[in-house]
Amino acid sequence: MHVINGQRTPGTGPEFVRRSPATGAEVARYRLASPADVDAAVTAAAEAFPGWKNTTPGERSDLLFALAAGLEARAAELAELESAQTGKSIRLATEFDVPGSIDNARFFAGAARQLTGLAACSYWPNSTSMTRREPIGVIGSIAPWNYPLQMAAWKIFPAVAAGNTIVLKTSELTPGTSLILAEVAAEVGFPPGVINVIAGDGQSAGEALVRDERVVMTSFTGSTAVGRKVMEMCAAKGARVHLELGGKAPFVVFDDADVEAAARGAVAGSLINGGQDCTAATRAIVHRSIFEDFCTRVTELMNGVIIGDPADEATDLGSLISAEHRDRVAAVVDRARAAGAQIRCGGTIPATASGTEDSAYYAPTLITGIGTGAEVWREEIFGPVLVAMPFDDEDEAIELANDTVYGLAASAWTTTTRRALRAAAEIEAGCVWINEHIPIISEMPHGGYKASGFGKDMSQYSFDEYTQVKHVLIDESPDAHREWQDIIFTTDKERA
């Protein structure tokens, strides 16, 4: 199913069945979006754009507030579906994914009325200049499977708040909640074609969307490898691109840190969403004097985490997205083990009461005894796996934190203001938390440095992606003469 032009529409691509990666139960059966479906969605968005761009910010704001209320009314259903299609725990979906998405709608409902620019002023003789911040047109967005509803929210709300229309392609694995979002949007009065959601695979539907000449900007969240392909496709047609890519977040613990707070932060920050989170804590860089205490406590906490049926309120950690992904995670850990790393806890596929052989569970894992060349230090694993490495001095800690091609998020744990400020300034990442790891806030920008991409989601900064700025100059000269034109009109000058 897809939502095109405000209507639920069956796709015309091959049939696809999505099963819960935890229990194997069928969650969705539908036909994937084909290039023809992409074409229909882009046509709807292109036809809706002239009308939508001329709505007032106030009208757009009202609709976004109504959409937030509509989503809130279906919050329980959204949480259940998000949990079923991804394998994440129902508590995570209920307390994080769904309210986070609704909050984002409310933020952009307010922000729509606060688009900023330079004040009108006279910069040129006898004139007033002002700027207009205008929408761009049809946006194509491509989202990953890890936080389907939140990714849809982050892409759709700023785009439509700014007056653009959008076609969002969700991952074929996790279409349900993004489709409900589009359906609720239609119910609360968004004009047909403003918000279109299609579910399809990357090579067929994704590429068709990015390559479509009517799509003036692609906003992509996903892996760095695919992000680079998307950038090439956008370059070929000279269109804008916004990339939110992978991460390998450092988690730096100085010797003056509260070790208990840091250990709890590391466990929650590395296990959130089964570690399938681009900002997850993945590399703990810990002062040697507290390294063993930290690792011991992390191990205790990881061993206490309850793994099980995502639908069970008692479950702390559900399954990964698929058995194939679980096997990829397991293989990376097995290679580290074979290379001599110490697996302090986890490193196994746990048997659970609710699971089958194909259930995508993986145990929380702490790895030590590796060097900076190790695969587990360098590569994004996207599973519940934390590696830890000791350091001796502050310069080395910062160097290790920056020893990655990625730069999405990081945290530093210290009770010293000077160290906190140094870490905030010197760690190369789009977000540095101090004594925290994970909070992402609608009012604040989210986006990468280095190979983690460029451009911002969330916050007023996202409008820099979804708008273009026009200079309007109004001449107030009392007569036909303009001084600068004397360059051209020599005879006029001589006459004068």
Tell whether residue 210 is a contact of ligand NAD (CB under 6 A). yes
- Is residue 449 involved in binding ligand NAD (CB under 6 A)? no
Query: With binding defined as CB under 6 A, does residue 222 bind ligand NAD?
Result: yes
Whose Cβ is closer to ligand NAD: residue 309's or residue 380's? 380
> Looking at beta carbons only, is 11 or 70 nearer to ligand NAD?
11
For residue 203, state whether it binds ligand NAD (rule: CB under 6 A): yes
Q: Which is nearer to ligand NAD, 35 or 202 (CB)?
A: 202
**Minimum distance, C-beta of residue 418 to ligand NAD, in the bound complex (Å):** 30
Taking CB under 6 A as the rule, does residue 11 contact ligand NAD?
no
Q: According to CB under 6 A, which one of 6, 13, 148, 246 is a site residue for ligand NAD?
A: 246
Minimum CB–partner distance for residue 142 and ligand NAD (Å): 5
- State which residue, 38 or 267, has the beta carbon closest to ligand NAD: 38
* Shortest spacing between CB 238 and ligand NAD, in angstroms: 18
In angstroms, the CA 209 to CA 34 distance is 10
Tell me which stretch binds ligand NAD (CB under 6 A): 13-21, 138-146, 327-335, 474-482.
138-146
By C-beta, is 143 or 341 nearer to ligand NAD?
A: 143
- Which one, 126 or 203, has the nearer CB to ligand NAD? 203
Given 80, 172, 183, 244, the catalytic residue = 244
Q: What is the CA radius of gyration of the chain?
A: 25
Site string for ligand NAD, 265-304 (x = CB under 6 A): -------------x--------------------------
Does residue 244 carry a catalytic annotation?
yes
To ligand NAD, the closest distance from the beta carbon of 226 in angstroms equals 3
Q: Is 142 in the site for ligand NAD (CB under 6 A)?
A: yes
- Residues forming contacts to ligand NAD in the complex (CB under 6 A) are 142-146, 169, 171, 201-203, 206-207, 210, 221-223, 226, 229-230, 244-247, 278, 380, 382, 408, 448, 452
Catalytic residues: 244
